[in-house]
Amino acid sequence: MNTWTHTTVLLNEAIDALITRADGLYVDATFGRGGHSRALLAQLGAAGRLLAFDKDPEALAEAAQIRDERFSIRHQGFAALGELPPASVTGVLMDLGISSPQIDNPERGFSFRADGPLDMRMDPTRGQSAAEWLAVADQRQIAEVIRDYGEERFAVPIAKAIVARRQERGPLASTAELAELVAGAVKTREPGQNPATRTFQAVRIFVNGELEELQQALEGSLHVLQPGGRLVVISFHSLEDRIVKQFIARHSRAVVDRRAPFAEPAPTLLRALARVRPGEAEVAANPRARSAIMRVAERTQAPLPANHRGGRA
């Protein structure tokens, strides 16, 4: 039995923002270790329902400990959110990124803090591991991933080092090997940040298709949320937050059909409600909360016109 624990970030703030009625159907799109789900269930009435999604088998095992007929979970990524019936959901919560147990368990390969297999998959039973991808990707592709998903200015030297190492001694197999190689390729780094931080983030995001899945899930939320339903998203780095921010802004603006400039604009689909950061006390108690940003939006009452062609819902 492992001892890795997870402290849920912005727990009370997320639940307060999400719940508008106790008898609704809510979705915890990223169950993780269930902190938000348990708090949600505590606030729902007897007629309320909670559906969760998660790709991680360890999360599914944790969810099996919840003995509540109002709760169910699907072994799927949250991109599947849009498969739910239209306008059937009262609120959607997305807590993005990885959980502390995933980071702290060396066997998952997410962190450079302890040596372990270079895996990084949210679902280790499916798809290509980080080691498998780095063993076959060319230098240009590796550099693009590290630059675009890690915002790493030394992406090209790191990619060159990975390919050179592969040619000389064979593919990378462990987190320690990758961290050591990156440290040798990165010339300078911000105080207090490990040189491998951005590279590990980038490879993890790419291997799991995290940003693409987030975009699909956000679009799916428009499809499944009822008028007045809430969308609550907690992100932990700028790439995620930028996608969420732009999504809410785009669907909060009225759309004018340029072919009919005097016609009424298409109604907005979302209304931005809040942007919340953790307080000083939470950050002091849980330093991993320091980068969190929670954005809250509400599905508007106005339905799309039957002849709308914008593809926004």
Distances (CA, A) of 51 to 66, 182, 205, 299: 12, 40, 25, 19
- List, for residues 24-82, the tens digit of each pLDDT value: 999 999 999 899 999 999 999 999 999 999 999 999 999 999 999 999 999 999 999 99
- List, for residues 243-261, the tens digit of each pLDDT value: 999 999 999 986 655 666 6
Model confidence at 265, pLDDT cuts 50, 70, 90, reads low
Residue 160 identity (one-letter amino acid): K
Angle between helices 197-208 and 175-185 (to 10 degrees): 130
Delimit the CATH 3.40.50.150 region(s) of the chain: 11-100+210-299
**How far is it, in rounded angstroms, from Cα 151 to Cα 165?**
23
Model confidence at 312, pLDDT cuts 50, 70, 90, reads very low
Q: Is the CB of residue 271 less than 8 Å from the CB of residue 298? A: yes
How many C-beta neighbours within 10 Å does residue 1 have?
2
Looking at 121-130, 213-222, 227-236, 265-274, which range is the least confident one? 265-274
Delimit the CATH 1.10.150.170 region(s) of the chain: 113-207
Look at residue 256 in the predicted model and tell me its pLDDT: 56
Annotated ligand binding at 148? The verdict is no
Q: What is the CATH number of domain 113-207?
A: 1.10.150.170
**What's the whole-model pTM score?**
0.89
Annotated ligand binding at 53? The verdict is no
- List, for residues 300-310, the tens digit of each pLDDT value: 964 444 444 34
Annotated ligand binding at 167? The verdict is no
Q: What is the mean pLDDT of the chain?
A: 90
Annotated ligand binding at 170? The verdict is no
- List, for residues 277-308, the tens digit of each pLDDT value: 999 999 999 888 899 999 999 999 644 444 44
- Is the per-residue pLDDT at 21 higher than 50? yes
Annotated ligand binding at 109? The verdict is no
Look at residue 114 in the predicted model and tell me its pLDDT: 87
* Architecture field, domain 11-100+210-299: 3-Layer(aba) Sandwich (3.40)
